Amino acid sequence: MNKELMEALEILEREKEISKDTLFEAIENSLITAYKNHFGKADNVKVEIDRETCDYYCYAEKEVVDEVEDPVMQISPEEAKEIDPKAKTGDIVRVEIRSKEFGRIATQNAKSVILQKIREEERSVIYNQYFEKEKDVVTGIVQRYMGKNISINLGKADAILNENEQVRTEHFRPTERIKVYILEVRNTPKGPRILVSRTHPELVKRLFESEVTEIKDGTVEIMSIAREAGSRTKIAVRSNNPNVDAVGACVGINGARVNSIVDELCGEKIDIVNWDENPGNLIQNALSPAKIVAVFADPDEKTAKVVVPDYQLSLAIGKEGQNARLAARLTGYKIDIKSETQAKDAPGFRYEDYVYDDEEYDEEGYSDEDYSEEGYDEEGYGEAYEESVE
């Protein structure tokens, strides 16, 4: 019997990751509960279990008294001497309790105590396991639709993908494998409640971390990310190694790395740009693929005025303003985009400030010199311009 008990404990420990010590404590508590149900009280009951052999000894500590008033707590000298010949009045003797003597109801209650403890420990193990994965990406299997929510099986637990965390353009079938971002893990009486997302920007970040070795080892760093789930994501990266191209590392050979992430996101477009400490350069990069004539950034107000060629205005703004909107989120600047014609009509604008001299500017149209910060009017244009900022 003890061998069978040991085997059962080993199976529980292996399959449900519940430690033997916890199970031994559950058995001890169940025997004490059974004694209490059988005799009415268990204040003097002790249970000892050998962790190696699973042999257990259940006993009650009773005081030797001349006149027994409470048989559960006291014992007569005659009965005490049958257990210990040296026992005398006032001593405490151990009276062995045979669990076979417990009634059916007490036995069922003891069984319930053990099962309840196993369930509690199983829930606790699952909660701790997924709590450690909070704010991370895991792979799950689509189980079923619950109204507008989706149940995702993560292995040992089910997660809920709420409607507001779903990408409207994505439609999944049962048994389909998808990657989700764990938003929150709550511990409830019915077990852990796991909330996941497919729209969170961190999902894209974690996918890049798992796909791009340079990001994982810290050579390339993701500085900022802006996402409109299901449509487009912009991500700004920088390299901590001058010999490593940050954008190239993220794109991969023939776009292999970024394409695998795009496939996981069901075709969502991803723009990868270089991070720059200069806000003007960063805004220019963020507005790609549009070409920029000039950027005037105010670091204090976190605002920027951008001038683009007339034919590039719609590209810079993007469909329904998406490109400009994502660039603003990526850089943290409020961006006002004007075409050259619109800027020329603005107060204080001098057209010659935007006409590049081939000898002064490079092929990309940028000067190496900075512009003076004095002499600007409210619109951001003035006579004190020396050159356009990149």
pLDDT value for 349:
53
Q: Decide if 333 contacts 311 (C-beta within 8 A).
A: no
| pLDDT confidence tier of residue 53, bands split at 50, 70 and 90 | confident
Exposed (0-12), middle (13-18) or buried (19+): which is 294, by Cβ within 10 Å? Answer: buried
Entry field: residues in the chain: 390
- Strands across the sheet with 220-228, in order? 220-228, 232-239, 269-274
339-342-344 Cα angle (round to 5): 105
Q: Given a cut of 80, is residue 99 above it in pLDDT?
A: no
Host H or E run for residue 336? strand 334-339
Residue for token pair 């976190």: 302
Q: Given a cut of 70, is residue 361 above it in pLDDT?
A: no
Tokens of 66: 């001349």
| pLDDT confidence tier of residue 145, bands split at 50, 70 and 90 | very high
Amino acid identity at 50 = D
| pLDDT confidence tier of residue 82, bands split at 50, 70 and 90 | confident
| CB under 8 A, 24+ apart: contacts of 80-88 | 88/64
Q: Decide if 134 contacts 192 (C-beta within 8 A).
A: no
Q: Given a cut of 90, is residue 324 above it in pLDDT?
A: yes
Quote the DSSP letter at residue 372.
P
Q: Given a cut of 60, is residue 127 above it in pLDDT?
A: yes
pTM above 0.85, yes or no: no
Q: Given a cut of 70, is residue 153 above it in pLDDT?
A: yes
Task: Report the alpha-carbon distance of residue 37 to residue 235 in Å, rounded.
Answer: 65
pLDDT value for 348:
55
Tokens of 39: 């005799």
Q: Given a cut of 70, is residue 212 above it in pLDDT?
A: yes
**Mean pLDDT of the 53-75 span:** 82
pLDDT above 90 as % of the chain:
43
Q: Decide if 205 contacts 266 (C-beta within 8 A).
A: no
Tokens of 243: 């010999």
Q: Given a cut of 90, is residue 355 above it in pLDDT?
A: no
Q: Indicate the average pLDDT of the chain.
A: 82
Q: Given a cut of 80, is residue 382 above it in pLDDT?
A: no
